[in-house]
Each structure stands twice: as C-alpha cells, then as structure tokens.
C-alpha cells in the first residue's frame, strides 16, 4: 500500500492533553494520506525488486533492531498498522518508543531475554505480581534468577548481574501500591520495569517517576472490549531496538488486526478509564457499608479494579452473580469477577 510507507508518523511538536493525544497519536498523517480512519495492512510480505538492498535492510535490522528505512519488508520485522499503535502508546506513556507483542507475557518474555542476552540474568522483583509473571520468574523457564523482596530491600538485593527490577502497581490481585519514585531511586542504574496494566497512562505514567520500562497487557484496558489480545513495552529507543531483535528472532509479533483494534481502543481509553473508575468508587462505597464484607481493597490512585474479602465462602459469591460475569481477565466494558 503506497499510503503506508511511513512506519512511524511524525509526532506533532506542541504537547497535547492526554485525552487529545489518545485520539490523535499514531494518526497524525491520515489527512495527508486522504483518509480519516487508519488503514489496516494485512500483508505478510512486500514486493521488492532490489534484492540486494532488501537483504541489506533485513541484515541491518537483525543486527541493530532499528526500524528499516523505506517501505515495509516482512511482517515479522514490523507492520504499518501495528506501528501506529506503538507510536500512540509511546506518546501516551511519554517514552521514545514502544514495541508490541502477541500478548503481555510475550512482552515480558522479550524483556527478560533482552536483558539475558547482555549477560544480565538476575531479576529483583517485588510481590505481589500477576500470577503468570510470578510463575515465569520463579520457575526460571528462561534461565533467569529472581530475588523476591519488598520495596525496602531492593537496593540490597541488586547484584552486578541484575538486569531488571520489576514491580506492579497497583498489583494483581491485591491492588497493593508501591512508591515508584522511591523504588526507582533504590534501583540506581538498574532499569526499573513497572507493570502499568491496572493503572494505564490515564492514572499514572511511571516514566515520570523514574521508571525506564513500562509493561502492559494490552488485552486489558488498552483494548478495552475483551476481543483482542496483545502486549506492549514502552521504553527508550535503545532498548526498543533490542526488543525488536528479540521479537524478530522469536516471532512473538502482534497481528495487524489486533494492532488496529488496540489503536482504536486507545482513542477511548481516557473516557473508559475515568467512567469505570467512577463506577468502581461508588461500588467501593457500597461494599464498605455492607456487613457481609470483611475488607475492601482499592488503590489510592483510583481505577476500575476492586478487591474485597467476604465473611464465609467466597465461592458462593461468585456462583451467585447474575449481571457480573465470572471469568478471568479484566478491562472490558462490562464487569468480571
């Protein structure tokens, strides 16, 4: 598609409000292309009549991870539609770049492999973390070693081979929060990764508090409708280049249609998160006043997630719901438990 040569539409110079950015980021070139909605490019490969130049571009990408100049080459390197989502998410999180993956766990796997490729296999992590993240680190499936600690013990847990400090705030499932700025200070020169899935950039932007890597399960609030799976890492361009190399080699690419749906999801993200947060705050008020509820957990920064403890058997609560759907995951327009 001739109108999809540019992989990263130029960002406007003036700063824009988050709600405005959510609508326009990744779409700044649409008017010049003569379209209003972002095109969907489903091609897996692209014509090239200069085989020598194409081979050089692929080799350069495999070596450096930098996006190749000129038209697209092959979908495992990059894709114009997915590139729009990456551009938009980076703008919302306030980072240089973002790299999208097939799922949140694929994104975390790429981060761990990228650091391990530099001989930095040790991870310092603060519990609680999302269960699958906890399992991936604890099981050592990627050859990594983890030291579990609380925020106060981070500095002492760091070793010469520590490649990453990981926190999730608010955390899944307890909604525990950590002071990102204090944790970033304790990390020193070691990159801090913050899983920002629950908060989204609407409620917090971790890089503004010292984090260097931001992780999202895009399946949740970024998509927002329970119909697309994906993951994304927002970071500086240097680390993004390494992540692209890992993605190219391991194949955890995001499908272009998923990239389109996630870009569309971002356009309503501020509206959805704020509306859902308002509903959640009201539900917290009602649960707190209910004598059948033992304890309610709700983050100080707000959000659409609630955790609560009941007197008696919690399974009876789940089996008795009618309007709310008992299912895993979160972040859609309806309520799950």
Contacts of 138 (CB under 8 A, 6+ apart): 146
pLDDT (tens place) for every residue of the chain, 337 residues total: 333 333 343 444 447 999 999 999 999 999 999 999 999 999 999 998 888 888 888 888 888 888 877 888 899 999 999 999 999 999 999 999 999 999 999 999 999 999 999 999 999 999 999 999 999 999 999 999 999 999 999 999 999 999 999 999 999 999 999 999 999 999 999 999 999 999 999 999 999 999 999 999 999 999 999 999 999 999 999 999 999 999 999 999 999 999 999 999 999 999 999 999 999 999 999 999 999 999 999 999 999 999 999 999 999 999 999 999 999 999 999 999 9
Domain 2-269 of CATH type 3.40.640.10: yes
DSSP string covering 180-228, please? HHHHHHHHTTSPEEEE-TTTHHHH--GGGGT-SEEEEETTTTTT-SSS-
The ranges assigned to domains in the chain are 2-269, 270-319
Q: What is the pLDDT of residue 11?
A: 41
pLDDT score at 48: 87
pLDDT, position 3:
37
Q: What is the 3-state secondary structure (H, E, C) of 149-179?
A: ECHHHHHHHCCCCEEEEEEECCCCCCCCCCC
- The catalytic residues are 76, 130, 195, 220
Q: Give pLDDT, residue 49.
A: 87
pLDDT at 2 (0 to 100): 36
13-33 residues labelled b (16+ CB within 10 A) or e (exposed): eeeeebeebbbbbbbbbbeeb
Residue 281 is predicted with a pLDDT of 98
Q: Of the candidates 107, 141, 95, which has an alpha carbon nearest to the alpha carbon of residue 121?
A: 141
């Amino acid at each position: 598609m001739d109108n999809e040569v540019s992989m990263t539409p130029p960002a406007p110079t003036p700063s824009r409000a988050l709600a405005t950015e959510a609508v326009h980021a990744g779409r700044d070139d649409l008017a010049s292309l003569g379209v209003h909605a972002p095109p969907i490019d489903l091609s897996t490969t692209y014509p090239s009549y200069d085989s020598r130049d194409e081979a050089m571009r692929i080799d350069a990408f495999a070596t450096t991870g930098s996006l190749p100049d000129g038209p697209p080459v092959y979908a495992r390197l990059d894709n114009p539609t997915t590139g729009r989502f990456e551009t938009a998410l980076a703008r919302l999180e306030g980072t240089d770049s973002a790299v999208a993956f097939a799922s949140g766990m694929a994104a975390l796997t790429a981060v761990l492999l990228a650091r391990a490729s530099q001989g930095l296999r040790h991870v310092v992590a603060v519990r609680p973390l999302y269960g699958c993240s906890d399992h991936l680190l604890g099981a050592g499936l990627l050859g990594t070693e983890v030291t579990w600690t609380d925020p106060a013990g981070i500095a002492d847990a760091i070793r010469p081979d520590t490649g990453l400090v990981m926190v999730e705030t608010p955390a899944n499932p307890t909604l525990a929060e950590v002071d990102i700025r204090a944790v970033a200070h304790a990390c020193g020169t070691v990159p801090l990764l913050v899983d920002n899935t629950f908060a989204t950039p609407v409620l917090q932007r971790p890089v503004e508090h010292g984090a260097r890597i931001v992780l999202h399960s895009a399946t949740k609030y970024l998509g927002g409708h329970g119909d697309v799976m994906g993951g994304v890492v927002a970071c500086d361009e240097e680390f993004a280049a390494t992540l692209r190399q890992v993605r190219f080699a391991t194949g955890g690419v995001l499908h272009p249609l998923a990239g389109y749906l996630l870009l569309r999801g971002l356009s309503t993200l501020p509206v959805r998160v704020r509306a859902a947060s308002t509903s959640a705050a009201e539900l917290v008020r009602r649960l707190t006043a209910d004598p059948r509820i033992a304890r309610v957990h709700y983050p100080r920064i707000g959000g659409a997630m609630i955790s609560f403890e009941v007197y008696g058997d919690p399974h009876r609560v789940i089996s008795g719901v009618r309007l709310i759907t008992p299912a895993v995951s979160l972040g859609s327009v309806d309520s799950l438990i």
